[in-house]
């Protein structure tokens, strides 16, 4: 089981990590950016990467994790993750 990247689980903060087939295991955090992640203007950027605007074409822009996503032409828009960095 060690090093088996096909074994995955979802866990909530504060819950114990599960065992596998009744055996204790060591889990390693490996976040996978969800394909097509979306966020709107004013929200903190959920993933460091290159984003593009779904509503108007200002071109791709790189945003750091946690940076507030901007408005385009003074209005709220939806941003789509094009390439995680």
Q: Total structural domains in the chain?
A: 1
Q: Is residue 60 part of a domain?
A: yes
Work out the pLDDT band at 2, boundaries 50, 70, 90. Answer: low
Cβ atoms 54, 80 nearer than 8 A: yes
The pLDDT value recorded for residue 25 is 75
The count of other CB atoms within 10 Å of the CB of residue 69 is 21
Strand partners, 73: none
Q: Is residue 23 part of a domain?
A: no
Domain of residue 43: give its range. Answer: 38-84
Q: Is residue 9 part of a domain?
A: no
Q: Is residue 46 part of a domain?
A: yes
The pLDDT value recorded for residue 80 is 94
Q: Read off the pLDDT of residues 18-76 as tens digits, 9 standing for 90 and up.
A: 777 777 777 766 667 777 899 999 999 998 899 999 888 778 999 999 999 999 999 99
């Amino acid at each position: 089981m060690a090093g088996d990247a096909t074994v995955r689980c979802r866990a909530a903060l504060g819950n114990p990590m599960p065992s596998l087939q009744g055996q204790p295991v060591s889990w390693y955090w490996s976040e996978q950016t969800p394909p097509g992640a979306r966020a709107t203007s004013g929200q903190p950027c959920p993933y460091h990467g290159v984003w593009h605007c779904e509503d108007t074409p200002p071109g791709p822009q790189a945003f750091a994790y946690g940076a507030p996503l901007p408005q385009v032409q003074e209005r709220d828009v939806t941003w789509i993750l094009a390439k995680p960095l």
